[in-house]
Amino acid sequence: MRFTVGEHSAGHMRRILHMFLTRWDLIGLSDSATLALTELVANVVRHVPERRCSVLILREPYGLRVEVADAMPGAVHAKAADPLDEGGRGLVLVEAVTDRWGVDERADGKTVWFECDA
């Protein structure tokens, strides 16, 4: 699915993800997966000028894989934010609540992904 995201888009995407997890009998992954997806969408809203992204939700033999791709090149890293910073903790949260996550860089942007084991 391709989207132009805004402030309320994460809520809509959480509902879509929850629907898939329910259908796939993976509802136990819902809290972790929806939090991780929320953080990745929030990063697009904050850091991608046109706020365009595509979201791919995949049922895998081991569980779930979610990918959020955008056209903004550059590496992203999970780093501890200063306690007084308003942001900067999103990828640290993704790392904490998922089994794996990473970034695939391309010439025309990047894909940030995470996986949750069933």
pLDDT confidence band for 79 (50 / 70 / 90): low
Strands (E) located in the chain? 2-4, 52-60, 63-70, 100-106, 109-117
- Please state, in angstroms and rounded to a whole number, the distance separating the CA atoms of residues 54 and 67: 8
What is the average pLDDT value for the chain, to the nearest integer? Answer: 88
Q: Does residue 109 carry a pLDDT above 90?
A: yes
**pLDDT tens digit string along 20-63?**
999 999 999 999 999 999 999 999 998 888 999 999 999 999 99
What pTM value is reported for the model? 0.88
